[in-house]
Amino acid sequence: LAFIIRQLLTNSIKYSEASDIVIKSYEQNDRTHLEVKDFGRGIDPKDISRIFDKGFTSTTKHHDHASTGMGLYLAKKAAKPLLIHMNVHSTPNLGTSFTLTFPKRNEFVNIISV
């Protein structure tokens, strides 16, 4: 989980060019949500479906030649066994919001004794 959050924050910092980053959590439908939102360059709509693909670095020109396209791929891969759903919403030139939706609390953990 720390890796996933670190990746989202790193991307927000890298692509938001000194603007604010908002991190919030909330409960909805008995699930916990964690949102990381930046106000940077955003993601081109044609790229949204590919951002979690291995090696994908966007079709938008960018100056970061060090990008490997592995960060979001590995974050998504790490989220799967944790049953965390990752959702992204982005508008070019307005920013990007990643939301992690955690699984419902397992009722089994509430059993004290049998």
Q: Where are the domains of the chain?
A: 2-110
d(CA 93, CA 82): 32
What would the pLDDT profile of 22-51 be if each residue is shown by its tens digit?
A: 999 999 998 999 999 999 999 999 999 999
Q: Provide the CA 6 distance to its chain's centre, in angstroms.
A: 10
Q: Is the pLDDT of residue 15 over 90?
A: no
d(CA 67, CA 56): 9
What would the pLDDT profile of 74-108 be if each residue is shown by its tens digit?
A: 999 999 999 999 999 999 999 999 999 999 877 56
Question: What is the CATH number that goes with domain 2-110?
Answer: 3.30.565.10
The three-class DSSP label of residue 59 is coil
| Helix (H) or strand (E) run with residue 86 in it | strand 85-91
